[in-house]
Amino acid sequence: CGAVTYDTTYITVDFNSPPTLGLPPNFTAYLDVVGQVCFDIDPNDVDDNLSSVTVTPIGTYNNATEQICFNADTTGTYCFEITATDACGAQVVDSLCIEVIIDQCLHVQIEKTHNSFQGSTEQVHIYQYGSGKEIGGFDMLIAYDISALNVNNVLPGSLIEDCGWEYFTYRQGANGNCGSGCPSGLLRIVSIAETNNGAYHPGCFLDGMLGSLATIEFTVTNDRTYECQYAPVQFFWLDCNDNTFSSRMGDTLWISRNVFDFELNDITNYSGVFPTYFGDPDFCLEGGGPGKPAPIRCVDFTNGGIDIACADSIDARGDLNLNGLAYEIADAVLYSKYFVHGLGVFNINLQGQTAASDVNADGIPLSVADLVYLTRVIVGDALPYPKLDPNSSYEVEMSIDNGTIAIADTDYKVGAMFLIVEGKAEPTLLPEAGDMALEYNYDGKVTRVLVYDIHGKAYLEKGNVLCLNDNYKIKNIELGSYNGYILHAKLNTLPDKFSLSQNYPNPFNPITIIEFALPVKTDWNITIYNILGQQVESFSGEEDAGYMKIEWDASKYASGVYFYRLRAGSFTESKKMILLK
């Protein structure tokens, strides 16, 4: 009775992540003769404890080059299973198949990615899948859609680095004049093996080699109307010099033989004209005259792109804290904290929480209109997943006078207002704001101001609603209606710079408003294009300084994505809109 026994135990906890493999997709290797084939597998281990890589049924792994090599005795298909194991015994297993074909010409392909998250960085490789040619340089022109993708950087591929090529550069922007047929984004990539600037020389010239020539780093748009869509990245030709490869000595130029889409359909057109997605026309083979060498068709190009992930595959709408319960009070509290403190509050899974934030299903995440609708769903005043009406215009006339923000005229109940103010502001609510609440935070550069009602019952109507201190400059205003729609703030002050606003409503059917700002009197032009880059409508004029708007009636056009571009003086800007019938 009263006896006590003590004991002690020690527990060692190891936090370990399994290794990963960066295998290319199944591909075809083109060799001049049968023999050894090597390909990159890019093993990686965040814990830096990778212990082994094995391959079956044939092939060996080279730890120095991070490649697997095998001997192709005949043409045909070879399949492999590759296993990477770390020191803790965690494994990853992946597989791929390679078809070996004898063909001395070059084969270049843009990678097609899958399930790319919006707002994230995605790498797209441009691969060479073997050739019997010694290459001394290349000049590639790549087209993409800037409304869906933005180029952050272009890096030399593994082949360029492994061979020690001396020159690699890239350039963004239009090159030449291709009119309405020009893609919105163009990227030129140029590399030269030997620049003859000293004793150093490259170690190889890509003959018989498989791997990456370049890696493009894209930021994928956060516009949720692009979810589940395919954003193409394609070879493009403005003249005969584009997408060409030079021999090692520079005495031979190889141009397009065939062009394929990402599904490997042949889209080549030798009889075409520039600009084109379909390869070099036949007149590029004319050469420089008698006795002078002409270009040779000996490069096959395959296009790729980025498959943007579907929001529903990331997380459920309305569940911002990812606890499996959508439209509950904690989601509203977290959402309100975002507007005051920024993205740092989404510390569980930024992609999933951003996808869940599009509560009103309008394709725009993280908007103050979503917060309004989320609150109304929670209190039982609205149902989840509202269907937006594409036939209405949502405009609120506002004024700013000596720091007092007023709603001048509106047909809508404003459920929330979000402002970003340059510098340190000390806002106060005015009596006409009623029972609305105010939260704000200064981060050292800007003050983020949120006016809302977490109970989902109060709203703003006509009158003075908010007062700022004397030294202020509003950088952004967002409004959300009591019904969860995004509202357009129309200010009665003169603009201080050129700008093009997002059309409203968007989506629309069949009429939408396009508004733009002119700080000075100038000529202007609005041009509307379809998804193929073809002009469908144009508006122009000369106006004094102020906010201008035009109305586009698209009743005679088909549903789909359209683009509109403003040119005013030296200013130009483009945006995307969606016609939904």
pLDDT digit string (tens) for 520-535?
888 899 999 887 777 8
CA–CA separation, 463 and 350 (whole Å)? 37
Residue 258 has pLDDT above 90, yes or no: yes
pLDDT at 386: 47
Per-residue confidence band for 178, with pLDDT thresholds at 50, 70 and 90: low
| Mean pLDDT along residues 72-100 | 91
Residue type, 468: L
Position of tokens 């294009």?
529
Name which of 493, 412, 423, 480 is nearest 450 in CA terms: 480
Residue 169 has pLDDT above 90, yes or no: yes
pLDDT at 387: 43
Residue 253 has pLDDT above 70, yes or no: yes
Between 290 and 560, the higher pLDDT residue? 560
Name which of 539, 437, 547 is nearest 501 in CA terms: 547
Residue 311 has pLDDT above 70, yes or no: no
Helix axes of 368-378 and 329-341: crossing angle, nearest 10 degrees? 160
The number of CA neighbours under 13 Å toward the Cβ of 543 is: 19
Question: How buried is residue 118: exposed, middle or buried, by Cβ count under 10 Å (0-12/13-18/19+)?
Answer: buried
Per-residue confidence band for 412, with pLDDT thresholds at 50, 70 and 90: confident
CA–CA separation, 29 and 295 (whole Å)? 24
Name which of 185, 186, 172, 131 is nearest 301 in CA terms: 131
| Mean pLDDT along residues 319-348 | 89
Residue type, 242: D
Count CB-CB contacts under 10 A for residue 533.
Answer: 16
pLDDT at 297: 95
